[in-house]
Amino acid sequence: MKMLKFKRFITTAVILLAAYLLQSTVFPHLELAGIKPNLLLIVTAAFGFMRGPKEGMWIGLAAGLLLDVQCGDIIGFYGLIYLLVGALNGLFEQLFFDEDIKLPLFLITLSEFLYGIVIYFLMFLLKSDFKFPYYLGRIIVPELIYTIMVTLIVYPLILWVNHKLEAEEKRSASKFV
């Protein structure tokens, strides 16, 4: 059983690291009008509602700290935001059904929108930058649309990996029963 937990941990770490590397190296070359999708938010939200608030929090914290190390002025700023995204999405674990993509799309959309609002509030509004309509139209909504498009590709892959890991965990658990 410990080996399966270790395997899940390693698999999740690889997914998170791959998402980080794609977001920081490949996606800047795929920008549309200066906007790139938020792949780490997709991974954090997906693991949150698939695995629950506790795992969502840990993955969110790790994703946020990766961003903090790369581009944050304050270590822990993005870590805290992503931690909250993972935890809040984890609250919907009981409503999550694998076959239905509507809830994951809705939750990732809502997460991306709230993420944009929080970033605007903490990084711009507190500095007396009151250009919210501009920020909403030029940053939040385009990034939201781009993230949704990428979610349609990435989310099924994350779901498939989660199915494989859960099937292996169930097989292992049935050996002991």
Mean predicted lDDT score pLDDT of the chain:
91
Give the span between the Cα atoms of 87 and 61, in whole angstroms.
10
Longest Cα pair distance anywhere in the chain, in angstroms?
A: 62
Q: Does the structure show a pLDDT above 60 at 177?
A: no
> Within a 13 Å sphere around the CA of 18, how many CA atoms are in the beta-carbon half?
11
For residue 77, tell me if it sits in a domain.
yes
For residue 108, tell me if it sits in a domain.
yes
Q: Which range of residues forms the domain containing residue 108?
A: 38-160
For residue 18, tell me if it sits in a domain.
no
Give the span between the Cα atoms of 50 and 124, in whole angstroms.
33
- Per-residue model confidence as pLDDT tens digits over 51-82: 999 999 999 999 999 999 998 788 999 999 99
For residue 83, tell me if it sits in a domain.
yes
Overall pTM > 0.75:
yes
Count of the separate structural domains present in the chain: 1
For residue 170, tell me if it sits in a domain.
no
Give the span between the Cα atoms of 29 and 126, in whole angstroms.
31
For residue 149, tell me if it sits in a domain.
yes
Cβ count near 1 (within 10 Å):
10
